């Protein structure tokens, strides 16, 4: 069970862990022991998450979101299987916490009069520079 906040907890049946061989440091141990973890969370089928949270979670997860609606996290940072498992669970919890935050709606504003005047002045200056680039007539 992963506790996200006071109201939301992810049940163990929603998580699938698979241990795979890791790359990187570890010497002979790398070839023998499966220390890397692949954590799979069935986010689309989760009854604990609201639909709006699932949409934000999908956007935040990016390539880690599968077609079936699962989030797949792979961790092979340490040589310890238990530590990699904890890191994967912490990352999932943090990802869900970020998805719980509702983004503020942007209120469209108009540019100030000063900003408009500065823009027009810059355009005029640039136009004058380009006008000076023309051919010079010998009259």
Give per-residue pLDDT as tens, 77-134: 888 888 998 999 999 999 998 998 988 999 999 999 999 999 999 999 999 999 888 7
pLDDT at 27 over 70: no
41 belongs to a structural domain:
yes
Asked if the model's pLDDT at residue 70 lies above 80, the reply is yes
40 in a domain, yes or no?
A: yes
Q: What is the CATH number of the domain that holds 61?
A: 3.30.160.20
Structural domains of the chain, count: 1
Any domain includes 136 = no
Per the domain annotation, does 87 fall within a domain?
yes
Domain range for 77 = 2-100
- Both tokens of 87, joined, read 């890191």
Asked whether residue 43 is assigned to any structural domain, the reply reads yes
- Which one, of 63, 85, 66, 61, lies nearest residue 75 by Cα? 85
Whether residue 6 is contained in a domain is answered as yes
Residue 22 lies in a domain: yes
| pLDDT of res. 127 | 94
The upper half-sphere exposure of residue 25, i.e. CA atoms within 13 Å in the direction of its Cβ, equals 4
């Amino acid at each position: 069970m992963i506790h996200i906040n006071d109201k939301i907890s992810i049940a163990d049946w929603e998580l699938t862990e698979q241990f795979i061989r890791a790359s990187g440091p570890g010497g002979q141990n790398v070839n023998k022991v499966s220390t890397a973890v692949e954590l799979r969370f069935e986010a689309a089928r989760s009854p604990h998450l609201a639909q709006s949270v699932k949409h934000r979670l999908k956007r935040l997860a990016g390539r880690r979101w599968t077609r079936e609606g699962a989030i797949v996290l792979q961790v092979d940072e340490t040589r310890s299987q238990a530590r990699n498992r904890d890191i994967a669970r912490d990352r999932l919890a943090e990802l869900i916490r970020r998805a719980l935050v509702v983004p503020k709606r942007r209120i469209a504003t108009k540019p100030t009069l000063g900003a408009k005047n500065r823009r027009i002045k810059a355009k005029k200056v640039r136009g004058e520079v380009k006008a000076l680039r023309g051919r010079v007539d010998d009259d």
